[in-house]
Amino acid sequence: MHQPLIDLQHISKSFDGTMVLDDLSLTVKENSFVTLLGPSGCGKTTTLRIIGGFESPDTGSVIFDGQEITHLPPNKRQLNTVFQKYALFTHMTIADNIAFGLKIKNKPKSYIQDKIKYALKLVNLDGYENRSVDSLSGGQQQRIAIARAIVNEPRLLLLDEPLGALDLKLRQDMQYELIRLKNELGITFIYVTHDQEEALTMSDTIVVMNQGYIQQMGSPESIYNEPENAFVADFIGDSNIVPGIMLRDELVEIFGAKFACVDKGFGTNRPVDVVIRPEDIDLVAPGQGALSGIVTHLIFKGVHYEMEVTTPDGFEWLVHSTDLFPVGRQVDIHVDPFDIQIMNKPASEDEEAMGVNE
């Protein structure tokens, strides 16, 4: 097996006595697209800054391609960063911005010229060489920031919420641009976002973070379909998280009703958390499902209807369905066994932050 391109080993970092990263370990394989995803303040930028060399960890080490770079200054690292607010050099033309890294490295003039042309073409901004930074739109500035980074042929590109300031349409366009760029260039991407949809669309590995801990790491599908704890389930997409009791293998009791599931190994009569995605709930006629309730809310969402079904225990189930059930209708809830995801209950707050992993 290849050795990882980036290997973060037991990184801890605190600011003014507040722990921001706590014993974080993470490996990133060459040529992968890894996304750090988590709520504001969970330490995504700090992680990226430690990899980029702008911050040094209190403990732990950063290994790049087998070499320890923990205390190497940023200008000596074989990687480049695309900053959240672009951080272009406003006193230079677009061409000079892109050429900056190459000029610092004393590359020949003709090489630099070729590179500028190539990079501008790559980001679909041919002919913008002599424009000033201020004359570009946000999306264009972002693309220049990317061009400025990739002309240096880094092995690793760090992107800190590069699309955060763009509107929805532009953001979606840029997502595809970035995926295309990544595939064309074969550079490893570490990407930071707090937008779960963006993470699901773009990455081949998602690292869900909360309060300085990694909650879960895996492919977008596994993160979405098999969240390991309530935080991940709640953060990625909409979900119903309900308390349940694991009666035995493959049988869980929710609000007094028994549901067949596919999970095993939780023991018997063990309290657990159960995650059910809104689109996995089937509403059926009364008497045909495991739990009965009443539709209390209905919104048309375009592709589907979003409904709330309240069961006698007072829980409001979020349901997505293309079939309409009007408010006030008596319905039963049915869930297929493989759509039920069982998770251990966290024993304490601390454990909740760390994420409970079996």
Partner 1 sequence: MSKKLLSGPYVLWMIGFTIIPLALILYYGLTDRSGAFTLANIMAIATAEHAKALWLSLGLSLASTICCLLLAYPLAMVLRAKGVGAGSFIVFIFILPMWMNFLLRTLAWQTLLEKSGVINGFLALLHLPPQNMINTPAAIILGMVYNFLPFMVLPIYNVLSKIDDNTINAATDLGASSLQTFWHILLPLSVPGIISGINMVFVPALTTFVISNLLGGSKILLIGNVIEQEFTKGSNWHLGSGLSLVLMIFILISMALIAKYDKNGEGNAF
Ligand X SMILES: Nc1ncnc2c1ncn2[C@@H]1O[C@H](COP(=O)(O)OP(=O)(O)OP(=O)(O)O)[C@@H](O)[C@H]1O
Joined tokens for residue 187: 């550079």
Question: Does 110 engage in binding with ligand X (CB under 6 A)?
Answer: no
Cβ count within 10 A of residue 341: 21
Rg (CA), the chain: 24
Nearest to residue 86, comparing CAs of 132, 42, 139, 46? 139
In this structure, the strands spanning 270-276 and 341-344 are antiparallel
Question: Does 194 engage in binding with ligand X (CB under 6 A)?
Answer: yes
Q: Which does 225 bind (CB under 5 to 8 A by kind): Mg ion, partner 1, ligand X, none?
A: none
Region binding partner 1 by CB under 8 A among candidate stretches 85-93, 256-264, 284-292, 324-332:
85-93
Q: Which does 40 bind (CB under 5 to 8 A by kind): Mg ion, ligand X, partner 1, none?
A: ligand X
Sort 117 into a burial class: Cβ within 10 Å, 0-12 / 13-18 / 19+: middle
> Which of 153, 167 has the CB closer to partner 1?
153
What's the sign of the alpha-carbon dihedral 76, 79, 82, 88?
positive
Q: How far is the CB of 146 from Mg ion (least distance, A)?
A: 18
Among 1, 40, 300, 358, which residue interacts with ligand X (rule: CB under 6 A)?
Answer: 40
Q: How far is the CB of 4 from ligand X (least distance, A)?
A: 22
Among 4, 6, 38, 45, which residue interacts with Mg ion (rule: CB under 5 A)?
Answer: 45
Question: Does 118 engage in binding with partner 1 (CB under 8 A)?
Answer: no
Q: Which helix (H) or strand (E) holds 295?
A: strand 291-300
Question: Does 162 engage in binding with partner 1 (CB under 8 A)?
Answer: no
| Angle separating helix axes 138-150 and 94-104, nearest 10 degrees | 20
Question: Does 46 engage in binding with ligand X (CB under 6 A)?
Answer: yes
Q: Which does 123 bind (CB under 5 to 8 A by kind): ligand X, Mg ion, partner 1, none?
A: none
Binding site for ligand X (CB under 6 A): 15-16, 20, 38, 40-46, 194
